[in-house]
Amino acid sequence: MTTRTLNYTQRSRIELEWFRFRLKRDGEFLIAQLLSFDHSNLPNLPGDARVVLNCYLGRAGHVRIECGTISNLSTNIEQRYWVGEHSVFQIHLIVSDSREASRGKIIARSSKVTRFLTGGAKSLLTVEPAPLGSQVWRLQIEEDRGPVLEINSRISNIKGLITSSVFGSLVNPEILRQIADWVLVNYEQFEVPGSVGFLWRQIIDDLGVELDESDLSDVQEREELCGQLEEAFALRHKSVEALLSADEGDESDD
């Protein structure tokens, strides 16, 4: 088997499907935990190499989530960090040599995964109840607040619904597709930092779909791009795997 490497650094590449992590908000705090890391495809990693989840907070800097070593991983242990009002997080897993973690040489790393979390002091995606009749949810785009996710006000546990694996797997990719269309229509206008549109444009750009040669004014081409972005989002956030895991959990409870 050939180990994949990043050509310009000769670092080993950690594929996204090899590890799982969880992030959640508690007020102004981020609670993070590494759930698993299958490094069997990287047999040459030394046992004392440090494993770290790097969590980037944009201009606010980043936090390092220490996860033990290759031979002694710290999984399923919640770690708590103050992140203030930040709601957009870029995560990647890195493995460094056994020297001090903040200065050690990186010998393996993954690409970045972008997550946005509701429930903090300030959230990028506003969620609020609304009288929707027979609809469960609806996405509205407002001029000042940007995307607003409306949930039927007849549903008592809105937080439980939007944080469930089923909702995340089946609905979030479609929410992303609708937001992507809004971003692409206004792509040039969202170049100025600081606006809600700019932050959403960063998330869309981070999904890695090539936009440079696209005619964003063409409706059909834009629809195709939105489909690609939706697929990239679902793949990055492992929508199918999350749904299967939830289904397996339900079966085990029977």
Q: pLDDT tens, 93-136?
A: 999 987 654 557 889 989 877 776 654 434 578 889 999 999 99
Q: Please check whether residues 112 and 174 belong to one and the same domain.
A: no
| Predicted pLDDT of residue 115 | 72
* Residue among 76, 110, 75 nearest 90 (CA): 110
| Predicted pLDDT of residue 122 | 41
Q: Which domain holds residue 220?
A: 157-248
Q: Please check whether residues 174 and 77 belong to one and the same domain.
A: no
8 pLDDT higher than 90: no
Q: Please check whether residues 15 and 92 belong to one and the same domain.
A: yes
**Are the CB atoms for 55 and 65 separated by under 8 Å?**
yes
123, part of any domain: no
Q: Please check whether residues 103 and 185 belong to one and the same domain.
A: no
Q: Please check whether residues 107 and 168 belong to one and the same domain.
A: no
148, part of any domain: no
| Predicted pLDDT of residue 58 | 61
70 pLDDT higher than 60: yes
187, part of any domain: yes
Counted domains in the chain: 2
Q: Please check whether residues 171 and 111 belong to one and the same domain.
A: no
Tens-place pLDDT, residues 127-168 = 899 999 999 999 999 988 899 999 999 999 998 898 888 898
Locate all alpha helices (DSSP H) within the chain, ordered by sequence.
158-162, 165-170, 172-185, 196-206, 219-236, 239-253
87 pLDDT higher than 90: no
Mean residue pLDDT across the chain:
82
Mean pLDDT over 198-203 rounds to 82
**Are the CB atoms for 146 and 200 separated by under 8 Å?**
yes
Q: Please check whether residues 95 and 164 belong to one and the same domain.
A: no
Beta pairing class for 126-130 and 88-96: unpaired
CB contact set of 246 (below 8 Å; sequence gap of 6+): 164, 165, 166, 169
Q: Please check whether residues 21 and 112 belong to one and the same domain.
A: yes
24, part of any domain: yes
Mean pLDDT over 46-56 rounds to 89
Please say which residue of 60, 89, 116 terminates a domain.
116
Q: Please check whether residues 161 and 73 belong to one and the same domain.
A: no
Q: Please check whether residues 25 and 95 belong to one and the same domain.
A: yes
254, part of any domain: no
Q: What is the CATH number of the domain that holds 98?
A: 2.60.40.10
Please say which residue of 65, 86, 116 terminates a domain.
116
Q: Please check whether residues 112 and 161 belong to one and the same domain.
A: no
134, part of any domain: no
pLDDT band at 175 (very low <50, low <70, confident <90, very high): very high
| Tokens linked to 37 | 């890391």
| Predicted pLDDT of residue 194 | 63
| Tokens linked to 151 | 């949930």
Mean pLDDT over 187-201 rounds to 81
70: left (phi over 0), alpha (psi -120 to 50) or beta: alpha
Q: Please check whether residues 175 and 109 belong to one and the same domain.
A: no
Of 4-8, 17-21, 120-124, the least confident: 4-8
Amino acid identity at 28: E
Please say which residue of 116, 141, 166 terminates a domain.
116
253, part of any domain: no
152, part of any domain: no
- pTM of the model as a whole: 0.54
**Are the CB atoms for 3 and 39 separated by under 8 Å?**
no
Task: Of 111-115, 202-206, 217-221, 238-242, give the range with the top mean pLDDT.
Answer: 217-221
